[in-house]
Structure 1
Amino acid sequence: MGRAYEDEGELLAAELGAVAALSGGRAGAWLTRRVARLMPDDIHETEVELPLEWERAVWRVERIVGGAGRRLEPVASMEGMPLAEEWVVRIVTRGGCAGMNPVVLTAVVVRPVGERRVTVVRLRAVAKEGLIRQRSGQEVAKGYAAALAGVER
């Protein structure tokens, strides 16, 4: 597991704690953060091929993904590639029932090799799963993949 994925669990625990603080106060937030660290992750990864040049694909990802949630600092590299070969956008968005489950969504726009006019966008969505499986990570990844591809869901 690379550095890019190490902090997803902590980010999600903090986000769930913030949701709990709205109804349970500081003690509820603290307890929720502790329990969230033990909850399993719902991780979904997918790739979307955009028939666009790299700069236009970056613009599309920034417009669709970048404005859809609270922006996080991107990590240096997702797959060990130099930064010039990829563009990374990370956000915290909402999923699940009534949008109560935070989801960390990472989009990596990979620069095409050679004269190829198709740009690959790798999406990774991670959410915590409780007793009732909502598959928030899977649903968020599929939704943004469809939005990037221009498909209505």
Structure 2
Amino acid sequence: MIDDEDQILTAALGALGASSSGSGGRRGAMSAAKRLKKNVYETDLTLAMPVEAASEHTEGILAQAGRMLEAEGTHLAGARVLRAIVGGGLGNMNPVLITVSLTSDGPEHTAVSVRGAAKEGLIKQRAGEKTAKRITELLAHQGMN
């Protein structure tokens, strides 16, 4: 399992290139992706539920929004880490890596950190930022139910 953000995004863009142009498209997309800058956005929120319930809630939202990844060291520094590739940008065609860290903030509260990262081309779409905000809204809204 790859744990580096840039490598994950490069591989995701390569897979997208391969789906439309075969192995040549994969190599071309991966080569271009290595040169692109990242758009990164991080935000925090607190969910009024225990960390295990928050983890299940988050996993459900990420699985519905995209493709779950297995994160190495899913319990880093006392936090549970969940990752997914979610479509963002124009037509949801730009792969965005969403990383959610959950830490117990008492028996009935969970501190949540949401990070979105996406490669940016010449046209700035802020896909990492917009997708992280969208996932955060889903977590906060559905966490109230």
Short-chain TM bin: 0.7 to 0.9
Instruction: With the length of structure 2 as denominator, give the TM-score of the two structures.
Output: 0.87
Q: What's 1:59 paired with?
A: 56
Q: Matched residue of 1:61: which SS?
A: helix
Question: Does the CA-based 8 Å contact 2:65-2:86 persist in structure 1?
Answer: yes
1:106 and 2:103 matched: no
How big is the shift at 1:77?
Answer: 5.5
Q: Matched residue of 1:131: which SS?
A: coil
Aligned sequence identity (%): 35
Across the aligned residues of Structure 1 and Structure 2, the Cα RMSD in angstroms comes to 2.0
1:16 and 2:13 matched: yes
Whole-angstrom distance in 2 between the partners of 1:89 and 1:112: 17
Q: What's 2:137 paired with?
A: 146
Q: What's 2:36 paired with?
A: 39
Find 1:75's aligned residue among 72, 90, 102: 72
Q: What's 1:128 paired with?
A: 119
Greater mean deviation of Cα atoms: 130-139 or 16-25? 16-25
Q: What's 1:94 paired with?
A: 87
Whole-angstrom distance in 2 between the partners of 1:142 and 1:46: 8
Greater mean deviation of Cα atoms: 127-136 or 54-63? 54-63
Which structure features the higher share of strand residues? 2
Q: What's 1:137 paired with?
A: 128
Q: Matched residue of 1:150: which SS?
A: helix
Question: 1:97-126: per-residue Cα shift (whole Å, max 9, x none)?
Answer: 01110011111111124x5x3211111111
Question: Does the CA-based 8 Å contact 2:44-2:114 persist in structure 1?
Answer: yes
Greater mean deviation of Cα atoms: 139-148 or 16-25? 16-25
Question: Does the CA-based 8 Å contact 1:66-1:90 persist in structure 2?
Answer: no
Task: Pick closer, same or farther for the CA change 1:98–1:68 going to 2, 3 Å.
Answer: same
Letter in 2 for 1:15: A
Q: Matched residue of 1:37: which SS?
A: helix
Question: Does the CA-based 8 Å contact 1:14-1:33 persist in structure 2?
Answer: yes
Greater mean deviation of Cα atoms: 58-67 or 95-104? 58-67
Unpaired runs of 5+ in structure 2? none
Letter in 2 for 1:88: V
Greater mean deviation of Cα atoms: 138-147 or 65-74? 65-74
How big is the shift at 1:10?
Answer: 1.1
